[in-house]
Chains A and B, each alone.
Chain A
């Protein structure tokens, strides 16, 4: 009993350690005699209404969230890649049609030029005098 009173004095001086306070609380929980302290400590105990599985359930919810985060990250990555793919294919498509158009125009021009050169080419006749021939130029007199 003596030790208990010393400890209680220490408690009221605000000098007890956590372990000592735990000891006092346990002692008063077992004590049968009515006292102010018994009610005080019973109240403290009663106010500390932490659910039993609190830590475990918090940890589980974090694990779940982690998985969810991974999932959303994965989905956003995939959708970004898909969008990129669509844009890229559209771009390539435009490029190739442009090129085809150009080739087409080139072909038309080439034929036109060929026809022009054909039309200005003099007809070959037997009597003609070749003045000059080299790789680039032919000078002919009819």
Chain B
């Protein structure tokens, strides 16, 4: 595999993997370093990449093992400089305070979902992985994945509606 082929076929996976690894590390710099490390590992295996007939499956498997390793040696949470800046920036803006609250609602609702629902909805709706890629990562069949996704999406919607209804009735009661 030439470096040009590598750039076109392998590097684009980084865009989908970034949010996923960010969720583990919660720090922009570390996420970048981890992805760089992962890409170098794949680059060192470029001869094997040429031989395997399902590139997606290979890359996803390597990425999966890599993120498991990251999870294992994850240190206590340290907020990155950039992320701190992002939070500060939003707060300074004032008008985004409202949006931040909304994001918090959705975030909490997803956080409370069962593990596999959480994983699948994040991989699909945030990261933008294809069903094939999610199947490779989670081991669930595609028909099963669609069911999980459907339930997760509906549940998130209903839970958020509940929060909003509660807020509204709370407001009216006052």
Binding site for B on A (CB under 8 A): 11-15, 18, 21, 36-37, 39-40, 42-44, 46-51, 54-55, 57-59, 61-63, 65-66
Contacts and interface: CB of A to CB of B under 8 A. Distances in A.
Given A13-B146, A42-B102, A54-B18, 12 more contacts: A14-B149, A15-B146, A21-B124, A21-B125, A39-B102, A39-B106, A44-B126, A48-B126, A58-B14, A59-B11, A63-B3, A65-B43
A42 B99 contact: yes
Given A14-B150, A42-B99, A58-B39, A47 B19 contact: yes
B156 interface: yes
Contacts of B85: none
Interface residues of B, number: 44
B99 A36 contact: no
Interface stretch (B28-36, B48-56, B63-71): B28-36
B135 interface: no
Contacts of B14: 54-55, 58
19 contacts: A12-B153, A14-B150, A18-B128, A21-B124, A36-B160, A36-B164, A39-B105, A47-B126, A49-B18, A49-B28, A55-B7, A57-B32, A58-B11, A58-B39, A59-B6, A59-B7, A62-B3, A62-B39, A65-B40
A57 to B, nearest CB: 8
A55 B146 contact: no
A57 B29 CA distance: 13
Nearest to B122: A47
B157 A40 contact: yes
A44 B153 CA distance: 12
Contacts of A42: 99, 102-103
Contact of B40 (A13, A44, A49, A62): A62
A12 B39 contact: no
B145 to A, nearest CB: 8
A12 B150 contact: yes
B18 A50 contact: yes
A43 B107 contact: yes
B107 A54 contact: no
A59 B9 CA distance: 12
A15 B146 CA distance: 7
